[in-house]
Every structure is written in C-alpha cells, then in structure tokens.
Amino acid sequence: MTATAPREEQLWSRCAGCASLLYRKRLRRNLDVCPECGAHARLGAPERLRQLVDPGSLCPLPDRLPEADPLDFVDVLPYPHRLTGARASTGLAEAVVCATATIGGHPAALAVMDFRFLGGSLGCAVGELITRAAERALDDRTPLILITASGGARMQEGVLSLMQMATVSQAIAALREAGLLTVSILTDPTYGGVAASFATNTDLVLAESGARMGFAGPRVIRQITGRALPEGFQTADFLLRHGQVDMVVQRRSLRARLMALLAATRAGRPARPPVPRQEPASRHDRFAADDVAVTRPAGPVVCPAVADTPAVRDAWDTVRMARHPGRPTTLDYLDSVFDGFVELHGDRLGADCPAIVGGVARLAGRHVMVIGHQKGHTTAELVARNFGMASPAGHRKALRLMRLAARLGLPVVTLVDTPGADPGVSAEEQGQAAAIAENILTLTVLPTPVLAVITGEGGSGGALALAVADRVLMLENAVYSVISPEGCAAILWPDRSAAPQAARALRLTAPDLCRLGVVDEVVPEPSSAAHDDPAETAHRLRAALLANLLPLLDVPPAMLVRLRRQRFRRFGANRSGVQAGRR
C-alpha cells in the first residue's frame, strides 16, 4: 500500500492488489488485509508481533549490536549511510525484531523480519539476533517461531552474510536435537539466503496467504531462462501444490492456527531431555568426547599462505581466472588427486543431477567420500552438466552421500565450483530453497570430518550447501561470494558494467576471505594458474588435503561437531570484538 499524498498519509492507503483507496483505520482494523480484494499488505515487525502474541506478554530481546561494516563496503553509497537511513525510516535497530511472548498462553521465542529495513536482508547482526532468539528458546525449552520477509543475504556484508545461513541453521539443528518445535511463517517476500536456510529448514513451514517464496527471484529466472513464468509462480498456493509448505493461512487465522500447533506439540513434549544422538560406530568410540583437548584459536585465523604471498591480482581478474574453462574440474581432481573413485548416483526421489558428482575414493590409501560440483571444459560438457549449477536433486544426492559417509565413518571431502544453484522454474517447483537449507543444517551436525575446498567459483547458497565444514580451503585463484559481481552491480550500481568494482567491494578472493576467517588456508596455484599446470595444482591440492584431513581423523565425532559449530557461530556480529552476554 502506498500513501496517496504526504498530508493524507495517515488517513488513506491504496491497495497494491486492486488499487482501491482505503481508509487507513479501517484497513488496520482488518489486519492490513484489503476488505475489497483480500490482498495482504506487508506488515512491519512491531505490528506483526502485536497481531500475534497475547497482549502484555511481549518481552523484547536486546536488539542493539556493535556496529559492523566488516568489508568497508561502498557502492554508490557507503554501507553505514544505508544503515543510518534504514534506522531513521523504520525506527528499528535492524531488519529483525526478536522477543519472547505467549500465544494463547503458550510461551515461545519469536524472530520477526521487517522488509522495510534494507529489504529484510540477512547480515551478521540479523543472523546473530535470530541465533540468540533460538538459543533463548533452547534455554527456556520453548518453541521458536520465525516470521520471514527478506530479499536474501545482505550483499554489503559479502560472504559473511552467507555464513549466517549456517549460523542460524545450526541453532535450529540444536532445537531439533532437543525435541523443540521450530516453525517458520513465510510472508511476502521471502527469497535467497533466508529462503534457503531458516525459512525452510524448520519443522513446520506456514505461508501467509499471498506470500511468495523462492531461492531465485522471478526476474533472475526470467532473465536466465528467457521463458515466461507459470501463473502464480512461487506464490503460497504454488508452494502448497508443490509440497513445500504445510499450509497456507489467511492473516486473520494465523494466531489461532499457531495456538493450535503450539498446543498440540506442547502436549507431546517429552518430560525429560531426549537421549543423546548415537554416534556412528568408528574407532573414535574408544574416546570420550572430552578426553581429547582440541583447541582452535579464538581470534581470526591467520593463513600462512597469505602472509607469504602479497595479493597482486585484481579481484575481477581473479573472477575471470576462477571461471576459466581450462580450470581443472571435480572429475579432473578425482582422477589426479584421488584413487579408485567409484561414482554413486541418484537422489532416490526421482532424479540424478549431473552437476553434482559424488562417491567413494581413496586419498593416500584412506577411504573418503568425495562430493563436488562438476562443470566441464567444452560447451557440450558445460551444457550437459548444467554449468555446475545443481538442481534440488543434486543437493539431495549430496545429502544422501553425506549421511552415508557419516554412517560408514568416512570423512567427507567436498570440491566446490559452481556459479550458484540452478535458477530455473523446475528447480523452484522441486524445492530448491529447502534442499539447500537441509544440506546446510545437516552439515552442521554431521558426525564425521568434513573438509571443503573452493576450487573455482563458490557461488552463494549453492556453494555453501557443500561448504559448512571443519576446515575450508580455497585455491589461490578461486572466488567465494554471496552474489556474482554482475548480480551485485545490477542491484547496487547503475548497471552490470560495474561488475569489476563490485568484485573488489565484495572481498571474494582467497586472501580476503582468509583474513575474514571464512577460509582457513589458501592453496597456492602454480606461477601462472591452475589451468596452465593441472598436474602441479593437483599435487599441491593433494598435499593440502592430507595436511588438513589427517588431524581431523583423530578428533572424536562429537567434538568435531562442537568445534564446527563454534567455527560458524563466530561469524555473528560478535566477531567485531564485543562479546555477547551469552556463552
């Protein structure tokens, strides 16, 4: 709804659905649902909370975090200016409001996103606040309710905003383990990194009437596929038809529906804490989890390779290097770095995605599960592999192989090289967002060593779906980013020709990400680049894999999972130096 004129702003609104001019008070009484056509207008977080929780029960959680501009990001405006503007126009500290409250007498922790604040984008502060709300739910043993409204990850915080998908997902995983209900309510719109993490990896997913949710936005999909989109694409009813949400709920019924769900799950809640999860049988069983002290430096990880090698290449040149068609692919590395690869196919649900290859192999005589994106060198190979862009079937195949590895006590090595997940109509129909979200969550609890290597392009959620790992390595000329430089330029600059500037602003190179602690080690490439000397690249990658994997084999699985969670927990706003009051 937009105001008709500044002076009448408080009095009248025009419906975005049917263009009726509506008396503001009448509209508010109707919960901001148009009485003429039923269109649900977007709600700010404070109003949403007012509509849902019991009067007088709301107890806001702290919303002020240390200022964070981890990248010193500047597009046409410096990022801090955009933050200041958003705060002034919304009266909110950030794009989420968190609270505890009761709903029909049932206690819950809530995190409500507000689209008015920089498009509800997920940055470090938002991730930290939602994570704390989840931790509060765990402490209080209450359900967690997430109400999403977001365009996706916050580009101005680069790959650190991508890490928030893992941070919040592991907090949801902890609630799952504790037997506590998590509910997400999709409101319009919910896209990108939020859709591909906590909006869809909760126990229950409700969609408010008229809400749209998807991994890739409709404009991007239209641009890439050149096809018209099906009627009602990504709307709540579409999501219900495709099995992606539990129900579509009218706003006026939302509170009652939540009350019923909370009542049902409260009745069934175990009186005692659940039995700890069984670890897989392995040689690690002879250790108690706490017997082996494994320490990780608390501060930023220092990369020896970076310290020795000054960053000489411009970020945009590195992007082009990472995309070079001659660059070794996952299958090349499976041939040159590993021995005896046996490929395993299929998601067991109806498809086998060619953009993901996986299977068992040996690394210096040790058995491992290798999963990676496969591109190709020729146009025909690239087309056959969908340019390394995994479909939901690919992510589900990867999930199956990760779980299998954990059951068999095999370490997982992932090789990440993708422009991003498949931005297509059928990928959305088949639940792209939820497939990625489930992989991210599963990796945060996988009881076996996970070693990820960004070998070429690490593109957004599609890359993270294979990269929540104990150690993350990156080839010297690889890139890892929350969005492509071209995509970022199209949104934050006047046009896509600003891609080189966006590439620099995003801090997507290996030395930058090492400094930010996202990557643990840079694997140097031969003097020119990987594609000029694949054999030497393979030799170096093999040495780096062994050096990083062998120490992990001695860590008991429970300890591994704990350390992995600590690794991703530190990407919240805490990283700017001020410790949160908790844990």
Query: What is the binding site for Zn ion (CB under 5 A)?
Result: 15, 17-18, 20, 34, 36-37, 39
Report yes or no: 519 and 472 within 8 Å, Cβ to Cβ.
yes
In whole angstroms, how close is the CB of 209 to Zn ion at the nearest point?
A: 13
Residue 384 in tokens: 């056959």
Structural element, H or E, at residue 365: none
Q: Nearer Cβ to Zn ion, position 22 or 165?
A: 22
Q: Nearer Cβ to Zn ion, position 37 or 383?
A: 37
In whole angstroms, how close is the CB of 35 to Zn ion at the nearest point?
A: 8
> What's the burial of 151, exposed, middle or buried (CB within 10 Å: 0-12/13-18/19+)?
buried
Q: Nearer Cβ to Zn ion, position 11 or 37?
A: 37
Q: Nearer Cβ to Zn ion, position 13 or 430?
A: 13
In whole angstroms, how close is the CB of 78 to Zn ion at the nearest point?
A: 39
Q: Nearer Cβ to Zn ion, position 21 or 578?
A: 21
In whole angstroms, how close is the CB of 21 to Zn ion at the nearest point?
A: 10
In whole angstroms, how close is the CB of 250 to Zn ion at the nearest point?
A: 14
Q: Nearer Cβ to Zn ion, position 34 or 52?
A: 34
Residue 303 in tokens: 């990369």
Whole-number Å distance between alpha carbons of 121 and 492:
14
Residue whose pair of structure tokens reads 């359900």 in the numeric block: 143
In whole angstroms, how close is the CB of 312 to Zn ion at the nearest point?
A: 58
Q: Nearer Cβ to Zn ion, position 15 or 262?
A: 15
Report the largest interatomic distance among the alpha carbons of the chain, rounded to a whole angstrom: 76
Q: Nearer Cβ to Zn ion, position 29 or 242?
A: 29
Q: CB-based contacts of 208: which residues, under 8 Å, 6+ apart? A: 40, 185, 186, 187, 188, 236, 248, 249, 250, 251, 254
Angle made by CA atoms 300, 565, 367, in degrees to the nearest 5? 100
What is the SS3 assignment for 456?
A: strand
Structural element, H or E, at residue 359: strand 356-363
In whole angstroms, how close is the CB of 409 to Zn ion at the nearest point?
A: 58
In whole angstroms, how close is the CB of 32 to Zn ion at the nearest point?
A: 11
Count of CB atoms situated within 10 Å of the CB of 528: 10
Angle at which helix 557-569 crosses helix 432-445, to 10 degrees, equals 120
Report yes or no: 14 and 4 within 8 Å, Cβ to Cβ.
yes
Q: Nearer Cβ to Zn ion, position 25 or 242?
A: 25
* Pairing mode of beta strands 106-113, 96-103: antiparallel
Residue 88 in tokens: 């002034």
In whole angstroms, how close is the CB of 26 to Zn ion at the nearest point?
A: 12
Report yes or no: 524 and 544 within 8 Å, Cβ to Cβ.
no
Report yes or no: 207 and 249 within 8 Å, Cβ to Cβ.
yes
